[in-house]
Structure 1
Amino acid sequence: MNPGTRKAYAELITGSVLFGLLGVFVDYLQEVPTGPMIFYKELFGVFSLLVFIIITGKVSSVIPHRKKHYLLLLGFINTSTIFTYFTCIKHTSFSVAILMLYTAPMYVTLFSPLILKEKITIKGIVALALSLIGLIFIVDLGNMSSGLNSGLSGSSSHFIGIAAGILSSSLIFPPSCSYYY
């Protein structure tokens, strides 16, 4: 393996580990409100990218020339996804939040026959059913239903977290579906 490939793999692994640890940090920062947490996360990211772009001298390559409204829409969807993901972490647990976030392929399986005119396969139905069963086991619907009956208790907070988790995965659905176009 040449040094360039090794460096690329190291960067990919480092980025994946750091992004994966984001939920752990959010879980430990329960006292910090979600809005400021997202603001500083995005500010640090923009600042880091700006420094990198200035150092490498590729400022002209990041200026959008066309379809600027799509870039704005993607930024709004990404920020909304992060907000609902962080809300899910704060009201449930990190494991439930990460599972709920990555259920977007379930939406792709459900809506691809309607939007993309794809045929539903037996493999897709079996995978969807197994995913849904696993999701029900992890989410703990018993905790959620007792929260609905008892009013504003700790269990209703679980319901808010599950709703935010469903919303976070459905917000990630349009960008993941755009790979098919």
Structure 2
Amino acid sequence: MSARSFELLLETAYDSPNPPVFEEGAAAVYTALERALREARIATGKSQEELSFRFERLRLGVAIAFVKAFVRLAHNEKSKEVLEVLQDAIKARNTREIDKIVQKRIASFDHLYHEIFVNPQREEILHLFESTLDAGTKEELDELIMDGLELMSEVDWDYTHSEDDDDIEPLDEDFLKNL
């Protein structure tokens, strides 16, 4: 996998050559993880903490890409709160700060599950987001980046709400919360 694929995932999700995610750029975040992986193989202690932090930053970046794509398709204002949480977490200086930021606003993530069944691509993007949260290795993130790039190349970004969507009965909120 390459840093360029990660950059491309974010660029596609944001529909911008300069997505406002990382000050240092997506490629720098990806290569920082690669460097931390090399250093962790030969050292102990601080390098393991650094490796965890670098992994979390890449995972957050991948998650942000999927949530941004979801928000673009869903047109749901409440889903933007999740994006804000992840963007705040990306600014953290260590993994404990990341966890603290996300846990404090965890209820925002419930909003992602509204209206997902209207558009199958939203559901697929949400599945990739969930898989990102479960990923535990760089290789798993690399696979998700590639899956995301493939899916986003097929997304109809110009899809708008149609009258046919009104014929679909909304799912019960209690049912959604139990998923």
Question: What TM-score do the two structures reach when normalised by structure 2?
Answer: 0.31
Tell me which of the two structures has the higher relative contact order, counting C-alpha pairs closer than 8 angstroms and 6 or more residues apart: 1
Structure with the bigger percentage of helix: 1
| Higher Rg | 1
